[in-house]
Amino acid sequence: MSPSLPLPHPPGWPELSQQPTSLFLDIDGTLVEFESHPDLVRATDGLILLLQSISSALEGAIALISGRPLHDIDRVFQPWQPFAAGGHGAEVRGGAGTRLHRPDSDQLVVARAALTDAVAKLPGAWIEDKGYGLALHYREVPQYEGNAAALVERVAAASNGTLEVQRGAYVQELRPAAFDKGLALDELMGQLPFSGRRPVVVGDDHTDEAAFASAHRHGGISVLVGPRDDTVAQYRITDPEAVRGWLTEILEEVFP
């Protein structure tokens, strides 16, 4: 791989605190490392305490933005129930309450059946049913990437525009076409405690690019995690461990 586009390390608290700040964090590949199965991911007590402490420093203006459904975000971070956008924005829990997406069930039933049929021929790949969408995972059988991509493209094309393909790391997802992480950020920024604060968005995947662009529209800052170069992000952090280190430094600067 060619060397990554040089992007600076994101600023610390002395600069961030010059304006009221809000923090929007992706979960997988950003706050926590990937596991072989997404159900194996669980936040440590230390990470939860770190995020809760930063939340109090930001007067509650911290939210998790993930492809995971809200109920799964809550499983990863239990007993903490943070503000969050789940399913790439299909579900949002902000200061104004919780909005859940009611999917077009006919299209999903057809898509679920088509995927289930085809995945039987890709041993080791499996389907995660998110309720409003479907994810085809193949982390254990990466040789099926081409098959998986072609399969979800075919199912999306048959969905009358209701489902869109979202590529991730060893996952091809069919999500409602009406949502993305950028719209989720717009929605949360319209609610307390986020409104009027400068958003700082941190994420690793292509799904986070829409949130980066939204952060810029709101006068905010974008931080990419990892070596990817096709990005609009302004800053870069190497990996989840370094993200946790950056957050720890911020906390030490807030409460020296």
The footprint of Mg ion (CB under 5 A) covers 26, 28-29, 204-205
For 171, the token pair is 């996952």
Out of 26, 28, 74, 205, pick the active-site residue: 26
Of the pair 104, 204, the CB lying nearest Mg ion is at 204
CB of 195 to Mg ion, least distance (A): 25
Of the pair 29, 182, the CB lying nearest Mg ion is at 29
Residue owning tokens 């299209």: 107
The Cα 237–Cα 224 span in angstroms is 6
CB of 66 to Mg ion, least distance (A): 7
Using CB positions, name the residue nearest to Mg ion. Answer: 29
E strand intervals along the chain: 21-25, 62-65, 83-86, 91-94, 97-99, 126-129, 134-137, 163-168, 171-176, 198-203, 221-225, 235-237
Of the pair 57, 90, the CB lying nearest Mg ion is at 90
HSE at residue 151, side-chain half, CA atoms within 13 A, is 28
CB of 29 to Mg ion, least distance (A): 4
Note if 28 is an active site residue: no
The Cα 24–Cα 217 span in angstroms is 15
